């Protein structure tokens, strides 16, 4: 099968997979800090005979623990969930295209692209 340039509506090339460790760590840090601080504030406020402001001490302590746990958990989840990055190429670069059946593997596509130089 051969395709003309007019039959190609969009052309994207894979730039590979990207790790989400940083994003996961940031999200985990925010969630861990918030959950830890809220839980610590509630626990600290309800602690009998605790010096004032116990809610603040509890919020700071559990917030710090939640922050650390959230960073680690988020980074781990981010490392596992990798996103593929794609870049769109101008259709004007496509000179010709062909596709065919590749046995049990599915299909293949071959493109002739005009160079930029």
What confidence tens digit (pLDDT) does each residue in 29-70 have?
Answer: 999 999 999 999 888 888 777 777 888 888 999 999 999 999
Question: Are 53 and 34 in the same domain?
Answer: yes
Under a CB-based contact definition with an 8 Å cutoff, are residues 98 and 72 in contact?
A: no
Q: What is the pTM of this model?
A: 0.59
Other C-beta atoms lying within 10 Å of the C-beta of residue 24: 22
Task: Quote the number of domains for the chain.
Answer: 2
Q: Are residues 50 and 29 in the same domain?
A: yes
Q: Which domain holds residue 66?
A: 20-81
Q: Are residues 50 and 24 in the same domain?
A: yes
């Amino acid at each position: 099968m051969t395709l003309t340039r007019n039959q190609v509506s969009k052309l994207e090339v894979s730039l590979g997979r990207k790790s989400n460790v940083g994003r996961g760590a940031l999200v985990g840090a925010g969630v861990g800090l918030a959950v830890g601080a809220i839980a610590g504030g509630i626990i600290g406020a309800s602690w009998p005979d605790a010096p004032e402001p116990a809610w603040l001490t509890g919020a700071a302590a559990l917030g710090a623990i939640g922050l650390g746990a959230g960073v680690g958990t988020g980074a781990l989840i981010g490392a596992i969930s990798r996103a593929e990055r794609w870049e769109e190429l101008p259709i004007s670069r496509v000179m010709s295209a062909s596709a065919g059946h590749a046995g049990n593997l599915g299909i293949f596509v071959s493109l002739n692209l005009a160079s930029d130089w």
